[in-house]
Structure formats: structure tokens, C-alpha cells
């Protein structure tokens, strides 16, 4: 099919059945479930997203310190991650 939908069955052009990928909601992992639904498969685990969040945290800290240890940089570094929290909520702003 050319519309990007996944089909069940063979390569028969008349086979127009499609399916949706769904994950049951767990904790605050709606970001993970949304990404996997969009990609139609289990591509991201909580560990994968936690690793990405840690990489973003490191890059953000590097950028904040690029101008030196300013008051804003020190405030930013004193805050918890804005990319992930202990409950598994992932956010990329």
C-alpha cells in the first residue's frame, strides 16, 4: 500500500485490511506509548527514553555553561531535569 498503513496478510492489492499498534498505558509513560504508536511498533523503551533525556540534560548544561558560571546557569543546574522525572514522565521542550 502507498498510504503508509500496515496491512495484514499477503501482498494482494485487494487486501485493504489495516491494523493499529497499541500499548496499554503504564505509569506516566504516555510519551513512550505515543512514539511507539506513531512508529507502529515497540521502538522505544523507558530505558531508551531515559538515555535520551540524560543526553539532553548534559547538552543543556553544556550550553548553559558556555557563557560561564552565570546566575542563570547556576539556577538551571540546581533544578531537576526538565526532560524526565522519577515517575517516568518524559518531556522535550
Instruction: Please write down the HEC assignment for all residues of 31-81.
Output: HHHHHHHHHCCCCCCHHHHHHHHHHHHHHHHHHHHCCCCCHHHHHHHHCCC
Mean pLDDT of the chain: 83
Share of the chain above pLDDT 70, in %: 83
For 67-77, how does the pLDDT look when each residue is reduced to its tens digit (9 = 90+)? Answer: 899 999 899 88
State the pLDDT at residue 3.
37
E strand or H helix that includes residue 30 = helix 30-39
Top-ranked range on mean pLDDT: pick from 5-19, 49-63, 79-93? 49-63
Q: Write down the domain spans for the chain.
A: 30-78
Answer for the pair 31, 49: CB distance below 8 angstroms, yes or no: yes
State the pLDDT at residue 74.
92
End-to-end CA distance of the chain: 35
The answer to whether the predicted template modeling score (pTM) of the entire model surpasses 0.75 is no
- Of 27, 46, 44, the C-alpha closest to 35 is 44
Provide the pLDDT confidence category of residue 26 given band limits of 50, 70 and 90. confident
Between 9 and 68, the higher pLDDT residue: 68
The three grid cell numbers given for residue 16, joined into one nine-digit string: 485493504
Amino acid at each position: 500500500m502507498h498510504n503508509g498503513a500496515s496491512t495484514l496478510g499477503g501482498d494482494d492489492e485487494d487486501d485493504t485490511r489495516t491494523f493499529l499498534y497499541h500499548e496499554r498505558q503504564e505509569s506516566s509513560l504516555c510519551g513512550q506509548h505515543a512514539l511507539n504508536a506513531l512508529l507502529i511498533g515497540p521502538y522505544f523503551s523507558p530505558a531508551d527514553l531515559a538515555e535520551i533525556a540524560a543526553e539532553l540534560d548534559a547538552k543543556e548544561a553544556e550550553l548553559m555553561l558556555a557563557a560561564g558560571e552565570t546566575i542563570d546557569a547556576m539556577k538551571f543546574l540546581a533544578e531537576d531535569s526538565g526532560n524526565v522525572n522519577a515517575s517516568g514522565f518524559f518531556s522535550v521542550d
